Amino acid sequence: MEIKIREALREDCQRLLDLVHELAVYERAPDEVTVTLQEFEDAGFGPHPVWKAFVAESQGKIQGFGLYYIRYSTWKGCRMYLEDLLVTEEMRGKGIGKLIFDRLIQEAVEKDFNGMTWQVLDWNEPAINFYKKYNAPLDGGWLNVALSKEQINVLAVNNDVSSR
């Protein structure tokens, strides 16, 4: 089985979104994916792209991907933030994840990023074990915090920030 790792193209976006949905099901949050195909394409291939991805292709079909964006840390500088790393369920255990992850590491070196960060769910033992092979330390000291677009809009109205 030949696996080709390459940069994602705009025409890959539908397949990538399909895989994002597969990941959401695996992570027990199937209804949390709300991005549209158009938003996804524009964010990756519009006039101001914010993400980049590498795909793993076998026999002309994308079987996995790693998607990242640049995160700026006031302490560390520019770092790669790995948003998603996924290999389809039927292709797991064949070394595809390692190929994608190694390509991401190569990208971090080429772009001279000051590091690479990502998150993993505390119950996702296969992923945790995969990252441990890279000697990546797990940091349990941080909590995830976020506001949705709807929450931001409500806060803006309630706090009258639009008139400032």
Count the Cβ atoms, other than its own, within 10 Å of residue 4.
12
Give the distance from CA 21 to its chain's centroid: 13
Q: What is the pLDDT at residue 164? A: 53
| Residues designated catalytic | 131
35-52 pLDDT per residue, tens: 999 999 999 999 999 999
Q: What is the pLDDT at residue 163? A: 54
Q: Which CATH architecture has domain 4-163?
A: 3-Layer(aba) Sandwich (3.40)
> How big, in percent rounded to 5, are the helix, strand and coil portions of the chain?
40, 25, 35
Q: What is the pLDDT at residue 145? A: 86
Q: What is the pLDDT at residue 140? A: 84
Give CA angle at 144 (140, 150), nearest 5°: 170
Q: Parse the chain into domains and list their residue ranges.
A: 4-163
**Mind spelling out the 3-state secondary structure of 10-69?**
HHHHHHHHHHHHHHHHHCCCCCCCCCCHHHHHHHHHCCCCCCEEEEEEECCEEEEEEEEE
Task: With CA atoms as reference, report the closest residue to 26 among 151, 128, 121, 140.
Answer: 121
Q: What predicted TM-score, i.e. pTM, was given to this entire model?
A: 0.90
Which regions of the chain are under pLDDT 50? none
104-121 pLDDT per residue, tens: 999 999 999 999 999 998
